[in-house]
Structure 1
Amino acid sequence: MPGANPVARAPEGVRTAADVVTPELVAQLTKGVAGTGRTVNHTPFTGEKLADLPESTPEDVHKAFEHARAAQAVWAQVPVRQRAAVLLRFHDLLLERQAEVLDLVQLETGKARLHAHEEVQAVAVAARHYGYKAVAYLRPRRHAGALPALTRVTQLRHPRGVVGQIAPWNYPLELSVGDALPALVAGNAVVLKPDTETALTALWARDLLVEAGLPAGALQVVIGEGPVVGPEVVRRADYVSFTGSTATGREVAAGAAVRLIGASLELGGKNAMLVLQDADVDKAAAGAVRACFSSAGQLCISIERLYVHESVADAFLERFAARTRALRLGTFLAYGADMGSLVSARQLETVTRHVEEAVAMGAKVVAGGVARPDVGPYFYEPTILTGVEVPMAVCTEETFGPVVSVYRVKDENEAILLANATAYGLNASVWTKDGRRGRAVAARLRAGTVNVNEGYAAAYGSVQAPMGGMRESGLGRRHGSEGILKYTEAQTVAHQRLLPLAPSMGMDDQKYAAFMSRSLRLMKTLGLR
């Protein structure tokens, strides 16, 4: 029945917000931040103030870019191997001091601690990957020239300059410093605008990077309201990295287009999970809980639509609902809670509106469906809906909360058709006992990442492979070669030797044209590319 989720009991001696966010810590983290005003962030667990923070004006943003440009000119001259060593030291420091940042992530986002640890894992993996692979990704590369032996071609990779990064509140460690790491190791400086409500986490990560050897000026942080500070970052950057809503992403893209600079955008999603006829329903149910309710569903790649083959739908839904109702809600800074809070009153309003509208139009609540102010001001129970259809908002709009709609399908073709019937294309999930079948279905889904027998972590954690969205879920990719090369400009240096690419050695125009024609035919015969 709805309203049944238990509340996890906090262990003895658990730390409080006052223990973690001390005046000394705030002073240390905000030292040097460009900001002449003052703003405040809060904890979703109670709604209470966590800290007073500097607030940046447009002039402060300008100064931050000036400092970043001065630092970048020096940082770019540091050999790639030495820049990469900073990331490897940061990796070790992060794992050694993870308890500090786990406290901050929980306090600023309201997450359960295990979900906060996903961010530590993701950032450590990215730091290790680019720490070891940056030299190979950025090394000069030889290419075949216009004429073999006569034209020597080398491709170089230069940093773009200063990258403007606008990060969201939902993953304040991973989507701030995690995205900055490849930009920095490529020789850029970064001006980072985190969300005000999660700025302490980003500032902590910046502090740790400096401790690992990054020049302090190479990563500037500006704090303030998105409509004020965000456009200033776009106006001054040499490249823009943005994670957030599709609506705001369009504005960022337009601002970048006016200036003819590059941009990468990870935007919204209405991600689908497919449970095929031969799926292990117990494993699929457990996977659905992770896929739908991690970070209270406030994850761009979490699942909001579930398509289940009609032959296993009853068994799956029974197991899924039972697991969902058993999830423990909690507000403490320790492991033991299964799900935390929504981040704000705004998120709670959206979730509540989507569920209440759907129910009023005929949808059925299988689990959850209620707010839990007894736990915290923005808590909402993990919710499963059936009978969802157009024009219910929850059917097509991104909810970005702990709500999933379950649909029965007659076969995998119908599931694929419905899964692709969206403007988005970020992530998807397929469950089956037949791996080959799962991969074949995955290839037919219009999503940037597809996980077989996992919800999102398998693809996201495989950092040698690109991750990003299709259609209205964004442009560009993070991770792998694409995740670092986007922060560089490719330059081709062609050295012509002995003979020019023009008539020479007594040839007139006609003889030169004939010579080149014979040469082109020979190169094709030899299979030269």
Structure 2
Amino acid sequence: MPETSTKICSVNPATFESLADVTVSTSADIKRAVERARQGQPAWQKLGVKGRLKELQKLYSYLTERREQYAQLETKEMGKPIQGSRSSFDWAMRQFRWNLDNAIQCLAPEISYEDDKEIHQIHYEPYGVAGVITPWNFPLSNFVMGALQPLIAGNAVVYKISEEVPLFGQALDKAWREAQLPQGVFNQVYGAGDVGELLARSDIDFLHFTGSSVVGKKLYVIAAEKFIPVTLELGGSDAGIVFEDADVDRMIQPIFWAKFINAGQICCGLKRLYVHKTRYDEVVAKLSKFISQQKLGNPCEEDTVVGPLVSEKQRERLIGQVEDARSKGVKVVLGGKVPSGAKGAYFEPTLLAGVNKDMRAYYEELFGPVLPVAAFDSEAEAIQLANDTPYGLSAYVYTNDAERFKRVADQLEAGSISHNGTDYSRPANPFGGYKGSGIGKTCGKIGLQHACRVKVTAQQKRK
């Protein structure tokens, strides 16, 4: 990468207006950031969990007091409808609050064995310096999921946010500084994938990456060469299954939000919908009607439900996937095109019928407002179709039969399973996928412990 500074331009995807330029970090900048983290980490660790939580409470308070400011920035820089940006902020802060309230208990030494002569304990210690790389789709949530738990565990962090939302990264820098947290503990570098790769190759002890499976696999190779642990929260092609006994009228709205939240730009969103053949026409008709009633437009307007994609590049990829399917015989039930007169990176909410294995829309992740719908005959076929993917992040099952849900969930190859739209993303729950959707977990007790080295002490009792 260049040794002289270059710029990246933050762009409003709703208008393609240039917002501001941010300086890209050079290799020397990255090295200095890691060195600062290395210098700041011992004192941070020495504070203990309780002391670190006291410091991070200041950041929590700072952010909470500026909810609308951060929501507006998220909407302006990545195009999320303002109501969604507020909801995303609230979700992130619930995660933050849970960690502040529960980390002491989660990271406390655990007695694994004890008798009258000895006591054995499990201790959770920081790795040292963590490199954390996150995407653009939920800027604050991704910071909380990626960086907060390593910080609580006692690691110093060098953080790289996506080049699509560098202004949000600067806002996080400002928050850390103005909340008066210790210097050197949280450090940021800016830029695209080359900056992230250089960070992964630098003198770090642990790597967290949230993003595509393609990039995640490349970073995993780098981490393996360095022999450092990783958490990889990668892509998904999550299936939804609507069985014949489902309450379709009640399920249409949860299905819509599972797919079209954030214009479909969510790793754990519903990306393939399989419907029992006896309910297929009903589901397609009712879902199409519901989708057509939702406003696509300016994300700054309070009643907008679906906004633009994050960039023209993201839209072009989605157009390519839809056109590939169209050329191979797919039926476009709804949408399927750029809305007329659109000035930003908009794409109409779309339903596709007849997607098959020859189409990119079948085997690639659809990261946008496009949902393939297909019919199935039997429970066994539905499970086979849902599992027919290299991904395994989450899945959605719609049935009024509790035993069927348990039976199907046991067979689905995914890290989180939702029943009738129940939200699995509670703060206490770990999050992470099977297969190509990642390695390790974030969130909850398991996420906190995954950000730690585990030490066992076997201590003799005094006689």
Q: What TM-score, normalized by structure 1, do the two folds share?
A: 0.83
2:22 aligned partner: 53
Q: Given residue 215 of structure 1, which amino acid in structure 2 is its aligned partner? A: P
Counterparts in 2 of 1:411 and 1:167: CA distance versus 1, 3 Å: same
2:424 aligned partner: 459
5 Å-filtered alignment, 1:114-263, equals 114-144=83-113, 148-263=115-230
Q: Given residue 67 of structure 1, which amino acid in structure 2 is its aligned partner? A: R
5 Å-filtered alignment, 1:399-438, equals 399-438=366-405
- CA shift, 1:485, in A, is 1.0
Q: Given residue 469 of structure 1, which amino acid in structure 2 is its aligned partner? A: G
Q: Distance in 1 between matches of 2:63 and 2:406?
A: 35
Q: Distance in 1 between matches of 2:143 and 2:111?
A: 34
1:345 equivalent in alignment to 2:312: yes
Contact 1:176 1:202 in 2 (8 A): no
1:106 equivalent in alignment to 2:71: no
Q: Distance in 2 between matches of 1:221 and 1:406?
A: 42
1:475 aligned partner: 439
Q: Distance in 2 between matches of 1:492 and 1:387?
A: 55
Alignment partner of 1:459: what SS?
coil
Which string of whole-angstrom CA distances, capped at 9 and with x for unpartnered residues, describes residues 16-51 of structure 1? xxxxxxxxxxxxxxxxxx994433221111112111
1:76 equivalent in alignment to 2:45: yes
Q: Given residue 326 of structure 2, which amino acid in structure 1 is its aligned partner? A: V
Q: Distance in 2 between matches of 1:383 and 1:494?
A: 60
Q: Given residue 182 of structure 1, which amino acid in structure 2 is its aligned partner? A: Q
1:13 aligned partner: none
Q: Given residue 169 of structure 1, which amino acid in structure 2 is its aligned partner? A: W
Match of 2:64 among 88, 95, 102: 95
Counterparts in 2 of 1:390 and 1:75: CA distance versus 1, 3 Å: same
Q: Distance in 2 between matches of 1:278 and 1:86?
A: 51
Runs of 5+ unmatched residues, structure 2: none
Runs of 5+ unmatched residues, structure 1: 1-33, 500-529
Counting matched residue pairs gives 461
- CA shift, 1:190, in A, is 0.6
Q: What TM-score, normalized by structure 2, do the two folds share?
A: 0.95
Which string of whole-angstrom CA distances, capped at 9 and with x for unpartnered residues, describes residues 88-143 of structure 1? 44334333311101111111111112222332122111111110111111112222
Q: Given residue 355 of structure 1, which amino acid in structure 2 is its aligned partner? A: V
Counterparts in 2 of 1:308 and 1:78: CA distance versus 1, 3 Å: same
1:493 equivalent in alignment to 2:454: no
1:281 equivalent in alignment to 2:248: yes
RMSD: 1.9
- CA shift, 1:213, in A, is 4.7
Report the more deviating stretch, 115-124 or 181-190. 115-124
2:266 aligned partner: 299
Q: Distance in 2 between matches of 1:200 and 1:498?
A: 58
Report the more deviating stretch, 434-443 or 332-341. 434-443
Counterparts in 2 of 1:111 and 1:35: CA distance versus 1, 3 Å: farther
Alignment partner of 1:286: what SS?
helix
Contact 2:240 2:270 in 1 (8 A): yes
- CA shift, 1:375, in A, is 3.0
Contact 1:45 1:378 in 2 (8 A): yes
- Structure showing greater radius of gyration is 1
Alignment partner of 1:236: what SS?
coil
Q: Distance in 2 between matches of 1:277 and 1:89?
A: 51
Q: Given residue 449 of structure 2, which amino acid in structure 1 is its aligned partner? A: L
Match of 2:408 among 404, 423, 441: 441
- CA shift, 1:429, in A, is 0.4
